[in-house]
Chains A and B, each alone.
Chain A
């Protein structure tokens, strides 16, 4: 059973392609969607893989000493405050003798790697389940071009309702969201910047809207949580202010239409090196979640699931609760602010910012 749950936001900093493989549609390479709602999502397995990769990429191999080290930066600095010995060599008892753990090439592994194995599950050796699980990342806010004010973030009652329920699972029950969202269709915050005579033009469609105090409160709440006002997030002041004003709650149906038809479709070609023109037959389309799409997922921690107590390493706690808490702490302080998710990394796609709900 999961003892501790944390919600975190995933903010697309560049277009995001959580691919679903090929499909017999108009787009050659579409994105993953929820079967029953058609909302875009990121599969939990893909998300977990990317987060694990981000953790593993903190390691460098010190070739001289044949030992791994942690890249010295802020991320690891945070971890070291909580888990002091993570850079020590990982020793294990084998046949009654204590031996240093090494990889296939004989390089010494450190306690940090043991913690990764315990948290995400081992890649080889003795099999056990990981102590950290993720849910599929769900859509929260979707950016749509607006005639006035460049773009608006849209959402709908159903999405907000699910978000509230997921927050409840994480035992965070915000008063700001204790509302019946269904009455908020076609509303936006007060003093918004995107309204033209009580209408908004999103893409080529016009919606009659009204300003609502409740929607203002929701927008303020979301903006504070997604783009918190801290020094490290300085360039986000602009987007924080924008989200406070330019959020539109549409009906469930209108929202569904936008997330289905207003994703970014990129046509790509391959150049024939000989002719310098498009190679014959090499023209394809890819679907992306646009920059500034905001999704969220839950990180759910259980106690470390290894048989021997000493194999728990830095995550060892006195009670199961304490252990689960440590697992979440490791994730929270060790996870880089920005990581890469989904396809086409080498052309700069899929950079996302992770913002843990506080």
Chain B
């Protein structure tokens, strides 16, 4: 018989350890186990260790944010430490499947009702649309996290989302770049200089620029984003993934770690150290914008859609991450 395989639960606290208080450690040890996978070697006539995984025996919904960010076990077996991270990320992804069908759909319904039905009654016009990721998205990669690479998750529900501040920020950045292009063309300026002028005038609410991008004027931009003196006239809400969220493990692989560490030249004898992180793949997101001014709202929506489709949001946009397309 080929591929004879068996799974053995490694005894907790001998092979892996959670770094939390004693009673929390005990509970975690009882619901998350480390499983050794052994295969029978026909030639040697004995069982040999082939792989290992983390598995949660319990079937209840856990908080993904706690599992991902706070309860991270360390393997105590020699040589396994480096493998630890992606093994654990697989568990996070598996656990995420549970909340996906339970909390996420009801939460999305509630957000929709709050913004589209109830908040709208305060004299706001609401615009909603959904776009899908053309590939992957990672937000909050650089935030502090025990495993080096993080991801922004909802504070209570632990599901990934795009913060309204990021959405507003990227729309604004995109607008500055496009208007600077126009200004550079018009006044025969260098692009760097044009960016500086546009962003300075936008910041100070200086309306002296007479620039247009399709139907959007520079004065519209000032109204949309606001200045220190006056609040912006458009609200950019957090965007949530539609029910079907796909999480994937990704890798970045800096080839000259000592060089990037800042103290050595990039030499061929340095070993690449793969760093694993979580991304969201091919998922649909629901965006909401609100304003009392319907005209400005449409303009902001167009800018945002353009930014999401052409520029992208989150980390690694220059590698095609965080770029959206029409559903």
Instruction: Answer whether residue A196 sits at the interface, using C-beta atoms and an 8 A cutoff.
Output: yes
What's the nearest-Cβ distance from chain A to residue B146, in Å?
11
8 Å CB interface, A191-205 against B = 193, 196-197, 199, 201, 203-205
A269: nearest residue on chain B (CB-CB)? B169
Residues of B within 8 A of A (CB): 20-21, 23-24, 27-28, 30-31, 58, 60-63, 65-67, 70-71, 99, 103, 106, 109-111, 113-115, 118-119, 121-123, 143, 154-158, 163-165, 167-169, 173, 176-177, 180, 192, 195-196, 198-199, 226, 231-232, 234-238, 288, 292
User: Within 8 Å CB of A206, what residues of B?
Assistant: 21, 23-24, 27
B112: nearest residue on chain A (CB-CB)? A235
B237: nearest residue on chain A (CB-CB)? A348
- Interface size of A as a range: 35 or more
Contact of B195 among A14, A204, A273 (CB under 8 A): A273
Contact of A351 among B99, B114, B155, B176 (CB under 8 A): B114
Q: Are B20 and A204 in contact (CB under 8 A)?
A: yes
Q: Are B168 and A346 in contact (CB under 8 A)?
A: yes
User: Within 8 Å CB of B165, what residues of A?
Assistant: 266, 268, 344, 347
User: Within 8 Å CB of B113, what residues of A?
Assistant: 234-235
User: Within 8 Å CB of B122, what residues of A?
Assistant: 54, 57-58, 336, 338-340
Stretch at the interface among A95-103, A123-131, A142-150: A142-150
User: Within 8 Å CB of A271, what residues of B?
Assistant: 169, 173
A345–B164 Cα gap in the complex (Å)? Answer: 10
User: Within 8 Å CB of A203, what residues of B?
Assistant: 66, 70
What's the nearest-Cβ distance from chain B to residue A281, in Å?
15
Q: Are A338 and B24 in contact (CB under 8 A)?
A: no
Contact of B232 among A60, A270, A290, A346 (CB under 8 A): A346
What's the nearest-Cβ distance from chain B to residue A200, in Å?
10
What's the nearest-Cβ distance from chain A to residue B110, in Å?
5
Given A150-B157, A336-B118, A338-B114, does the pair A266, B163 have CB atoms closer than 8 Å?
yes
What's the nearest-Cβ distance from chain B to residue A146, in Å?
6
Q: Are A150 and B155 in contact (CB under 8 A)?
A: no
Of the candidates B31, B111, B119, B154, the one having the most CB atoms from chain A within 10 angstroms of its own CB is B119
Q: Are A147 and B27 in contact (CB under 8 A)?
A: yes
Instruction: Answer whether residue A174 sits at the interface, using C-beta atoms and an 8 A cutoff.
Output: no
A149: nearest residue on chain B (CB-CB)? B61
Q: Are A148 and B156 in contact (CB under 8 A)?
A: no
Instruction: Answer whether residue A212 sits at the interface, using C-beta atoms and an 8 A cutoff.
Output: no
A236–B111 Cα gap in the complex (Å)? Answer: 11
Q: Are B176 and A273 in contact (CB under 8 A)?
A: yes
A349–B155 Cα gap in the complex (Å)? Answer: 14
A345–B63 Cα gap in the complex (Å)? Answer: 28
Instruction: Answer whether residue A13 sits at the interface, using C-beta atoms and an 8 A cutoff.
Output: yes
